[in-house]
Amino acid sequence: AGVKFVDRRIPFSEWPKVKQEYINSGINPVGSIPVVELSGRVYTQSIPTLRYFSKKLGYIGRNAEDEYFLDRLADVAIDWRTTWGRLFEKNEKHTETNTPKFLRAFESFYGERAGDFVLGNEISYVDFLVYQLIDDEEVKSQLKVCILTIKYPFVI
């Protein structure tokens, strides 16, 4: 997007100290990441920050219908993240039940418009969100080996 930035990764060993600093300083009262600092402002929480910068940079669709379509898929992605986020570790039921259900939903959304992205040929914040979740869930390799080519051709 042409925006210069510094990507500061916090080593796991330093996280407890940094988290407390965020809470104590008021940078982020819940002590979570990401934290984006830009032009003297601080932005926190993943999805609102992603949406905010997408709007500023023009990756939110062309009209209210596109925004609604993106918000629907973002909510599905958040639901998926919530199902595995509660577990704190992978388990068989989640992998066999939840993951395929959400991948089918992504296939449906991505199949509604021709092109490589959920809006067709126009990339959006939801494409980044879905990719990040697929990567976090560690199903990217499954998608490439079997699901992508057979069951979920529109995802990644």
Radius of gyration of the chain (CA): 17
- What is the rounded average pLDDT for all residues in the chain? 80
pLDDT of res. 71: 93
Ordered by start, the domain boundaries in the chain are: 12-44, 60-142
pLDDT digits (tens, 9 = 90+) for 9-19: 899 899 999 99
**How far, in Å, CA of 35 to CA of 91, rounded?**
30
Q: Which CATH number fits domain 60-142: 1.20.1050.10, 3.90.550.10, 3.30.930.10, 3.40.640.10?
A: 1.20.1050.10
CA-to-CA dists, residue 95 to 26, 119, 133, 139, 149, angstroms: 37, 28, 14, 9, 19
Tokens for 113, please give them: 């418009």
Helix (H) or strand (E) holding 154: none
Task: Give 140's pLDDT tier (boundaries 50, 70, 90).
Answer: low
Peptide bond into 34 cis (omega under 30): yes
Q: Which two tokens stand for residue 91?
A: 């388990």
Residue 18 neighbours by CB under 8 Å, 6+ apart: 10
Instruction: Please give the average per-residue pLDDT across 71-93, as a whole number.
Output: 77
Q: How confident is the model at residue 44 (pLDDT cuts 50, 70, 90)?
A: very high
DSSP letter for each residue of 61-72: -SSHHHHHHHHH
Residue entry with tokens 């079997």 = 146
